């Protein structure tokens, strides 16, 4: 016969502090990673609207014309998708929950739209100077809105104007600096000099100074065309001449500066 087996537990808890908190007199301490609510650092926001499009709960509204960024606090599910998607890193997650209330909380932030000279006017369009472009496709890879289409073989660079949020992520990333917001010259767009390119490119070659190289593999990771093979153990650094577009994305990333296009 074994009855009242819980006596031990009960007896012990007589001498322990309560496991519960005297809420709300004593506030609970939140962890650093607690997903409480979304913060907007409005100085950096460019109203691109990617957060609104990524939100699974449709809790964010972005109005470019009125210059407002709105979040429906009670609709937000704190998944963090917008924080991860923001190209300007102007969203953050803090660990304080929205206070429970009888009315739904809607927070609207006014965003001052900057007339940035480098980015052109607010109604600018993303253009590519096709004389410079090597069709590496890096822009399409970083585009958070999937608005760009690049085909190397056909020498096509296209932007889906509906989808483009003009966030400028591609402009920052372009190794040839051929992308701009509303600055492209008319003639450059009209005549892509595709025929001249291969001849000029033919002499160029990506080289690595193997004495300096530490085979870290950063170049291969950042190659938009997957043209590089790096093996640390075997000490191999190889470039696929066919695939390489000589964009120079690897040069920027190389910590030893042992890469060169010549």
Partner 1 sequence: MAKRTVIPFGPQHPVLPEPVHLDLVVEDETVVEAIPSIGFIHRGLEKLVEKRDYSQMVYVIERICGICSFGHGWGAAAAVEGAMGVKIPERAEYLRTILHELSRLHSHLLWLGLLADAFGFESLFNHCWRVRETVLDILEKTTGGRVIFSICKVGGLNKDIDNETLKEIVETLEGIKEEIKELTDVFIEDDSVKNRMVGVGVLSKEDAEELCAVGPVARGSGVVQDMRLTNNHGVYGELDFEPVIETAGDCYARCKVRIGEVFQSIELIAKAVAKIPEGPVSVPVKGNVEGEYMLRLEQPRGEAFYYAKGANSKFLQRMRVRTPTNMNIPALVKTLQGCDLADVPILILTIDPCISCTER
Identify each DSSP E strand in the chain by its residue range.
Answer: 37-40, 60-63, 68-72, 91-94, 106-110, 126-128, 148-151, 156-159, 179-181, 206-208, 228-231, 236-239, 259-261
CA 87 – CA 167 distance, rounded (Å): 7
* 11: contact with partner 1 by CB under 8 A: no
Q: Tokens 């031990």, residue? A: 8
39 to each of 2, 19, 104, 242, 253, how far by Cα in Å? 56, 32, 18, 46, 31
Count of residues in contact with partner 1, rule CB under 8 A: 29
**Footprint on residues 111-170 left by partner 1 (CB under 8 A):** 141, 146
* 98: contact with partner 1 by CB under 8 A: no
* Residue 5 C-beta: closest distance to partner 1, Å: 4
Of 38-46, 49-57, 68-76, 105-113, the window that binds partner 1 (rule: CB under 8 A) is 49-57
x/- map, 171-200, partner 1, by CB under 8 A: ------------------------------
Residue 63, SS3 per DSSP: strand
Rule CB under 8 A: choose which of 93, 105, 213, 258 binds partner 1: 93
Q: Tell me how many helices (H) and strands (E) the chain has.
A: 9, 13
Of 2-10, 154-162, 177-185, 238-246, the window that binds partner 1 (rule: CB under 8 A) is 2-10
Provide the binding-site residues for partner 1, judged by CB under 8 A: 1-6, 8-10, 13, 19, 31-35, 54-56, 77-81, 84, 93, 95, 141, 146
């Amino acid at each position: 016969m074994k009855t009242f087996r819980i006596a031990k537990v009960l007896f012990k808890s007589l001498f322990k502090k309560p496991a519960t908190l005297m809420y709300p007199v004593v506030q609970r301490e939140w962890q650093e990673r607690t997903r409480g609510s979304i913060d907007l650092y409005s100085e950096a926001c460019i109203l691109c609207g990617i957060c609104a499009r990524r939100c699974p709960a449709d809790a964010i509204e972005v109005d470019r014309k009125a210059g407002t960024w709105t979040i429906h606090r009670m609709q937000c599910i704190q998944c963090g998708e917008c924080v991860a998607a923001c190209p300007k890193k102007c969203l953050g997650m803090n660990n304080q929950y929205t206070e429970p209330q009888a009315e739904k909380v809607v927070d609207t932030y006014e965003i001052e739209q900057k007339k940035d000279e480098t980015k052109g006017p607010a109604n600018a369009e993303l253009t590519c100077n096709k004389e410079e472009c090597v069709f590496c496709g890096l822009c399409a890879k970083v585009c958070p809105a999937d608005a760009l289409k690049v085909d190397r073989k056909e020498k096509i660079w296209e932007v889906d104007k509906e989808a483009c949020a003009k966030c400028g992520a591609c402009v920052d990333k372009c190794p040839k600096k051929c992308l701009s917001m509303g600055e492209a010259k008319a003639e450059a767009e009209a005549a892509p000099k595709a025929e001249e390119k291969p001849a000029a490119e033919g002499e160029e070659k990506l080289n690595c100074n193997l004495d300096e190289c530490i085979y870290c593999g950063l170049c291969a990771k950042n190659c938009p065309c997957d043209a590089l093979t790096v093996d640390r153990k075997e000490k191999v650094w190889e470039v696929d001449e066919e695939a390489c577009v000589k964009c120079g994305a690897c040069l920027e990333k190389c910590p030893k500066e042992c890469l060169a296009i010549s």
